A and B are shown apart, each in its own frame.
Chain A
Amino acid sequence: MIFRIILTTIKSALLATFLFIALFNQITIYDIFIASVITFVITAVISFFMILFTLLPFKIIGDYFSYNNVQIFQVFFPYYAMVSFAICTWFIVISKDDNMVKSLFFAAFFTSIMAWYWLFKKTN
């Protein structure tokens, strides 16, 4: 499980970095390497804690009820995805067209749902 968490963190950080840099679209080609590295480090830390505090509890609860990964996904993922979408959309709406906030929460939503996919995909 620890290996899977680390792998999911790296994948999530890569996806978040790509989405954020692509959507923010205000970084010149000369700065893109440094910006990507900084974004990757920050998103890796955020992703790790996101997995630890928002995904792992579902795994623990699922294990308690003897659910397999697919069952955990089916029971909890819909509500997680909807809440995540609602929170991110709310921040995007109140940001009043701030490109940075829009890019950040857009990336956050997609990363959060892809993290579920990577963490719970067919292991059984």
Chain B
Amino acid sequence: MKFILLIPAVLFSTLFYNKSLGLNVLLFALVVITLLFLRHQKKSKNKSILLKALLYLISSVFVFIHHNDLTLTATVISFFVFVGSFSNTKSSLFIQFLNGFYTTITAVIANYFERVEQEVVLVKEKNTNYAFWFKTVSISIVVLAIFMGLYSNSNPVFANLLQKIDLSFISFNWILFTAVAYYFIANIVLPVQIEPLTTSDANTTDFLIKIDKNTDERTLSDNAKLGFILFLVLNFLLVFVLVTDLIYLLQKKQLSAAALSNQLHQGVNALIVSIVLAIVLILFFFKGDLNFYKGNKHLKKSVFVWLVMNGFLAVVTAYKNYQYVHFFGLTYKRIGVFVYLILAIFGLILTFIKVKEVKNLWFLVRKNTQIAFSVLLIAAAINWDTFITKYNVFNAKEVDVTYLISLDNNKIVLDNVKKQLVLTPTQLEEISTNKAQYQSELREKVWQEYFLTNFINK
């Protein structure tokens, strides 16, 4: 096995040594998936692992289609999740991520300690006859070289073929790079898990368990009343904020960029504080016996109203962001606000479920990480630079051309739509130069660095 792992290590070096990212990420994903499926044939039939493999493959396809930081982040995270799913198939997504990360960086060392703990005698290692293998490989190479020399002298076609083999890429640095690749590949085929975190996670359900602490009925009743009054007051306050916000929004007036930006940032800040406060308060009140107290109905209702109104606050903030985008176009920050609002709405829905169905904090963490991972993968599917360019050129009332020029993956698209824009001669020249430079960079790429554009433009 140790020698077989040299093949993917050499492949890794061939794909990544002194290369930028592109097709190599996709090919490496295929190598990793094949290697792990061959190494763990029984586990590879597990549906959870198959799904993680598919997600890893899809995210690496995104790198090939439009490489940017987001697609790379999605690929790295899905790689760790995929590797970690072999450690324990029943673990939560974020535990699989941690296990995958841990496996990739140190599994070889961690395995040594696990075997010591299990009192497995390291006979296998001791039986590996390194001297024999060194002797065998050395003699084989020398004999092979002698015979190749002999045959090439007698056979010109064979000699010609040998001359075409180019091994000039092998350098000291390449060997070091391959050694590091070997280390990481040796790690990922030996899945390890973080203990006691993994076992604890696997043994924890999503539901709160009633612990008979014999809490006084009166204490529970007082806590329920306190919570109800607190959320009632907060609800009134939030109604007031929302009504004034709506009145302000319904006043149809053209706002300046600064005013829109200001009200949006205030809205987002208020929403962040409100949601964090809501979840902290809810977790505080619903952490124990109050969940099972029969007289908690009013408290639950006031919490549900509070959650719904926070959701409404998120919708109002989304509308403000939409207005901002409608007038001044999309930017990464404005997209970030939409992503945050989507995550916030999901967070509120999950908190609602947590309270209604008596779930625990672990449930919130598990589901929120799953949603964040899904949103990341969906976001990675979109070439945002191109999307922003097209949206701003065709929909925004005012276009910030300097911002569009500063983006990376839109050089060809921006050149194609430049007739729709009012541009200065300098900007026109910059767009043309950027496109030419981008095309030249594409042409200079070696096969490992290819993007989909390389194949389309051929």
Contacts from A to B (Cβ < 8 Å): 22-23, 25, 70-71, 73-75, 77-79, 81-82, 85, 113-114, 116-117, 120-122
Contact = CB atoms under 8 A, between A and B. Distances in A.
Contact of A117 (B98, B112, B176): B112
A56 B102 CA distance: 21
A70 B109 contact: no
Nearest to B103: A78
A25 B105 contact: no
Contacts of A73: 113
B176 A113 contact: no
Contact of B117 (A25, A70, A116, A121): A70
Nearest to B179: A22
Contacts of A22: 172, 176
Contacts of B194: 78-79
Interface string B155-183: 00000000000000000110010000000
B106 interface: yes
Contacts of B102: 78, 81-82
B116 interface: yes
Contacts of A77: 106, 109-110, 113
A70 B113 contact: yes
A3 B98 CA distance: 34
Contact of A74 (B98, B101, B113, B173): B113
B195 interface: yes
A113 B113 contact: no
B176 A82 contact: no
Nearest to A79: B194
Among B101, B109, B112, B172, the most chain A Cβ lie within 10 Å of the Cβ of B109
Contacts of A121: 112-113
A22 B116 CA distance: 32
Nearest to B99: A78
Among A25, A78, A116, A117, the most chain B Cβ lie within 10 Å of the Cβ of A78
B172 A25 contact: yes
Query: Taking chain A's interface residues, is the majority helix, strand, or loop, or is none over half, making it mixed?
Result: helix
A103 to B, nearest CB: 10
A114 B108 CA distance: 11
B173 A25 contact: yes
A75 B105 contact: no
Among A74, A85, A117, A120, the most chain B Cβ lie within 10 Å of the Cβ of A74
Given A25-B172, A78-B110, A81-B105, A70 B195 contact: no
A108 to B, nearest CB: 13
6 contacts: A25-B172, A25-B173, A74-B113, A78-B102, A78-B194, A121-B113
Among B101, B116, B117, the most chain A Cβ lie within 10 Å of the Cβ of B116
Contacts of B116: 70, 122
B14 to A, nearest CB: 20
Contacts of B172: 22, 25
A79 B117 CA distance: 19
A38 to B, nearest CB: 21
A45 B83 CA distance: 37
A107 to B, nearest CB: 12
Interface string B191-214: 000111000000000000000000
Nearest to B197: A78
B106 to A, nearest CB: 5
A23 B175 CA distance: 11
B195 A75 contact: yes
A85 B187 CA distance: 14
A81 B102 CA distance: 7
Contacts of B109: 77, 113-114, 116-117
Q: List the 6 closest pairs (A to B, CB-CB), nearest first.
A: A78-B194, A81-B106, A73-B113, A85-B105, A78-B102, A70-B117
B188 to A, nearest CB: 14
B325 to A, nearest CB: 31
Nearest to A22: B176
B101 A82 contact: yes
B135 to A, nearest CB: 26
Contacts of A116: 109
A47 to B, nearest CB: 17
A46 B113 CA distance: 26
Contacts of A78: 98, 102, 106, 110, 194
B110 A82 contact: no
Nearest to A74: B195
A113 B173 contact: no
Given A22-B176, A113-B109, 17 more contacts: A22-B172, A25-B172, A70-B113, A74-B110, A74-B113, A74-B114, A74-B195, A75-B195, A77-B106, A78-B106, A79-B194, A82-B101, A82-B105, A113-B105, A113-B106, A121-B113, A122-B116
Contacts of B176: 22-23
A92 to B, nearest CB: 13
A74 B194 CA distance: 8
Among B105, B114, B176, B196, the most chain A Cβ lie within 10 Å of the Cβ of B105
A71 B196 CA distance: 11
B101 to A, nearest CB: 6
Contacts of A70: 113, 116-117
Contacts of B98: 78, 82
A112 to B, nearest CB: 10
